[in-house]
Amino acid sequence: MKILCFADLGEKIGKNVEFPLETTITVRELREKLSEQYPLYQQQLQTCMVAINQTYAEEETVISPDDVVALIPPVSGG
Amino acid sequence: MFVITQDKIDVQAVIEAVQDPHCGGTCTFIGTVRDLTDGKKTAYLEYEAYEEMAEKMLKQIGDEVLKQFGCSHVAISHRIGRLEIGDVAVAIAVSAPHRKEAFEGCRYAIEKLKQVVPIWKKEFGEDGSYWV
C-alpha cells in the first residue's frame, strides 16, 4: 500500500511511502506502526489527520490494502 | 467552479462564475501573499496541495454554503506553486439574492477552507524557509 505524505511530513519521510499491508489495519494501528518505523517523527505521526480515499478518517476507521491513504499535517491554505 | 491551479488566478472569471439574474449581491474574498508575518520579511511562498482531495473539499464547502446560508452560487479557486508578494493565492465568490447571505457565506467559505482543505504553504524569508 502507498501512503501519500505532504508538506513537512513529505519532506521528512517521503511523499510516497510504501507500507506493507496484506489484510486490514485501523488508523490508530497505522499511526503506531509508522511511529515505530519513524521514531523521530512520532509526534507528527500521532497528531496529523489521516485521509482514506480523500476523506478524513476516524481513529477506528479500517484501512484495506487497496485504499489510498494520506497523512495530512495541519493545513495552512488561504 | 472549484479548482486548484498552478496558473495565475483570473479573479474576474471567478466572479462571473456566480452571476445570476436572481442574485442581487456577490461577495468576494481575495487572499494575497503578504510581505510581513510577525515582523519577519517574506520573500515568497510555495504552496502545495493534495489536489484531488482539495478540489473535493472545496466543492463540499460550496455545498455547505448553499445549504446553510441560502446562497445561490459559490466559486473558489486556489493557486499552488511559487507565489510572489501581492500574488492572489485564493479567490472566493459567493452570490445570493441579498447581501447578508452573500457576506455570511463568503466568510464561512474562507474560514472553513483554512481549517480543512489540504493545502500547505512554505515561507521563504531572510532566515531560511519553513512550513507554516
| CATH number (domain holding residue B9) | 3.90.1170.40
* pLDDT of residue A30 exceeding 90: yes
How high is the pLDDT of residue B126?
85
B73 within a domain of the structure (yes/no): yes
What whole-number percentage of chain A has pLDDT above 70? 100
Burial B28-47, CB ≥16 within 10 A → b, else e: bbebebeeeeeeeebebbeb
**pLDDT tens-digit readout, A12-23:** 999 999 999 999
CATH classification code of A2-72 = 3.10.20.30
- Given a contact cutoff of 8 angstroms between Cβ atoms, the answer to whether A13 and A38 are in contact is yes
* pLDDT of residue A67 exceeding 90: yes
> Taking the domains of chain A in order of start, what are their residue ranges?
2-72
Residue A71, Cβ neighbours under 10 Å: how many? 24
- Given a contact cutoff of 8 angstroms between Cβ atoms, the answer to whether B42 and B121 are in contact is no
Helix (H) or strand (E) holding B83: strand B81-84
Helix, strand, coil percentages (3-state) for chain B, rounded to 5, are 35, 40, 25
Chain A residues whose CB is inside 8 A of the B113 CB are 77-78
Q: How many domains does chain B have?
A: 1
How high is the pLDDT of residue B127?
84
Question: Is ipTM > 0.90 here?
Answer: yes
Closest CA in chain A for residue B132: A76
A21 in contact with B, Cβ within 8 Å: no
The partner residue sitting opposite B48, judged by closest CB among A7, A56, A70, is A7
The partner residue sitting opposite A76, judged by closest CB among B53, B56, B121, is B121
Number of residues in chain A: 78
How high is the pLDDT of residue B39?
87
Q: What is the DSSP letter of B41?
A: E
How high is the pLDDT of residue B37?
85
**pLDDT tens-digit readout, A36-54:** 999 999 999 999 999 999 9
Residues of chain B falling short of pLDDT 70: none
Q: Residue B113 and residue A72: Cβ atoms within 8 Å? A: no
- Given a contact cutoff of 8 angstroms between Cβ atoms, the answer to whether B64 and B74 are in contact is no
Mean pLDDT within A53-78: 97
